[in-house]
Amino acid sequence: MLELRDLTLGIGELTLVEGLNLQLRAGQLHVIIGPNGTGKTSLLRALFGELPLTCGEVHLRGTSMTRHTLPTWRQGIGYMPQNTQLDLDLSALEVVVLGRLQRLSMRLSDDDLEAALAALQALDIAHLADRPVHTLSGGQRQMVLFAQVLLRQPQLMLLDEPVSALDLKHQMQLMEHLKTQTAEQAWISVAVLHDLNLAAQFADQLIVLGDGRLQAFGPPAQVLSSELIHSLYHVPVDVHHDLDGQPYIRTLRAPRPAPRERLRA
Ligand SMILES: Nc1ncnc2c1ncn2[C@@H]1O[C@H](COP(=O)(O)OP(=O)(O)OP(=O)(O)O)[C@@H](O)[C@H]1O
Ligand SMILES: [Mg+2]
């Protein structure tokens, strides 16, 4: 379990998120949603130990995150930051193998290489293995970076907008893979998504951030309502439910004035 106890985050004078209490369970995919600038990235950075906590505590499977535990703490984490650049003179396969960095000795083992190739194959991007990463498209780079974090076999997976550059097929592929592996390997997975329908489809638990605090936490069917979404984004929406009770969201456009009224305005 990952436990956040009374967590407050800030940068300089600015308080981003206050009084966050959460318990995230192994085998579950948690999706963070919330408007731009509400502290989603800052929360992931704090859980990775990159942004100091203003106050509060974080515990992962009984270990508390402190200055002393930080090096080992990070080893158990697969962290994929938002908008990563890859201006490296390395092939896609080499970048994926870097996911095993702590375990690499002077030479790569066959096992490391096989695991890296298997990760590329599982994501249907084995054909990119020998391509220099700086020649890949944005979406291809994002898939390669996801393969890299998979290779860490993390206890805790922190993914910041992992599908932001992906087409529909690759979004589904990445999310399916993440969901299945999270359940099978008992990872604690946390992903930031802006696509509310994708979040509704894949999240076991939604973490809703807004206005500097936790607005809601729970399964999408319990959490997602038109009132909540409107209060977060100030956009009118209808929330419908399919036969399984899974919510899906349709945005509504404000009615436009008739052309003659527009001319008069
Ligand atoms: N290094 C920094 N210095 C000053 N302010 C910062 C810094 N990093 C982030 N912020 C501010 O903290 C707030 C939260 O930023 P954060 O990146 O966590 O938001 P976010 O929820 O991930 O947004 P987005 O959906 O746009 O990615 C924003 O107002 C941002 O401008
Ligand atoms: Mg962000």
Q: Is 265 a residue whose pLDDT tops 90? A: no
Sheet with 205-210: list strands edge to edge: 77-80, 156-160, 188-192, 29-33, 205-210, 213-218
Q: Is 106 a residue whose pLDDT tops 60? A: no
- Between the alpha carbon of residue 51 and those of residues 43, 54, 248, the distances in Å are 8, 9, 34
Whole-number Å distance between alpha carbons of 21 and 3: 8
pLDDT band of 37, cuts 50, 70, 90: very high
pLDDT band of 259, cuts 50, 70, 90: confident
User: Across residues 12-35, what is the average pLDDT?
Assistant: 96
User: Across residues 58-78, what is the average pLDDT?
Assistant: 91
Q: What would the pLDDT profile of 146-160 be if each residue is shown by its tens digit?
A: 999 999 889 999 999
Query: Can you tell me which residue has the tokens 């991007």?
Result: 125
State whether the beta carbon of 41 lies less than 6 angstroms from ligand 1. Answer: yes
The whole-number pLDDT of residue 105 equals 53
Q: What would the pLDDT profile of 194-233 be if each residue is shown by its tens digit?
A: 999 999 999 999 999 999 999 999 999 999 999 999 999 9
State whether the beta carbon of 39 lies less than 6 angstroms from ligand 1. Answer: yes
Q: Which of 43, 66, 61 is nearest to 217 (CA)?
A: 43
Q: Is 108 a residue whose pLDDT tops 80? A: no
The residue whose C-alpha atom lies closest to atom 25 belonging to ligand 1 is 36
Burial of 200 (0-12, 13-18, 19+ CB in 10 A): buried
pLDDT band of 257, cuts 50, 70, 90: confident
Average pLDDT, the chain: 92
Domain boundaries, the chain: 2-76+154-264
Q: Are strands 14-24 and 2-11 parallel, antiparallel or unpaired?
A: antiparallel
State whether the beta carbon of 142 lies less than 6 angstroms from ligand 1. Answer: no
Q: What would the pLDDT profile of 50-67 be if each residue is shown by its tens digit?
A: 999 999 999 999 899 998
Query: Can you tell me which residue has the tokens 């919330």?
Result: 34
Has domain 2-76+154-264 been given CATH number 3.40.50.300? yes
Q: Are strands 205-210 and 213-218 parallel, antiparallel or unpaired?
A: antiparallel
Burial of 131 (0-12, 13-18, 19+ CB in 10 A): middle
The whole-number pLDDT of residue 102 equals 63
Amino acid at 186: A
Range of weakest confidence among 64-78, 136-150, 230-244: 64-78
The whole-number pLDDT of residue 262 equals 67
User: Across residues 8-21, what is the average pLDDT?
Assistant: 94
The residue whose C-alpha atom lies closest to atom 7 belonging to ligand 1 is 11
The whole-number pLDDT of residue 85 equals 79
Mark out the alpha helices in the chain (DSSP H runs).
Answer: 40-47, 70-75, 92-97, 110-122, 138-151, 168-185, 196-202, 220-223, 226-233, 259-264
Whole-number Å distance between alpha carbons of 68 and 120: 35
State whether the beta carbon of 13 lies less than 6 angstroms from ligand 1. Answer: no
Counting ligand 1 atoms within 8 A of each CB, the residue from 7, 11, 36, 196 with the most, and so the one to mutate, is 11
Cα maximum dimension of the chain: 75
Report how far ligand 2's centroid is from the alpha carbon of 203 (Å): 18
User: Across residues 244-251, what is the average pLDDT?
Assistant: 94
Range of weakest confidence among 101-110, 121-130, 138-147, 251-260: 101-110
| Higher per-residue confidence, 261 vs 245 | 245
State whether the beta carbon of 173 lies less than 6 angstroms from ligand 1. Answer: no
pLDDT band of 126, cuts 50, 70, 90: very high
Q: Is 127 a residue whose pLDDT tops 80? A: yes
The residue whose C-alpha atom lies closest to atom 10 belonging to ligand 1 is 11
pLDDT band of 32, cuts 50, 70, 90: very high
Find the ligand nearest to 81 CA: 2
Amino acid at 105: S
User: Across residues 87-96, what is the average pLDDT?
Assistant: 89
Paired residues of 191 in beta bridges: 31, 159
The whole-number pLDDT of residue 86 equals 78
Q: Is 177 a residue whose pLDDT tops 90? A: yes
- Between the alpha carbon of residue 128 and those of residues 117, 123, 141, 237, the distances in Å are 10, 11, 10, 40
Which structure tokens are listed for 162?
């992992």
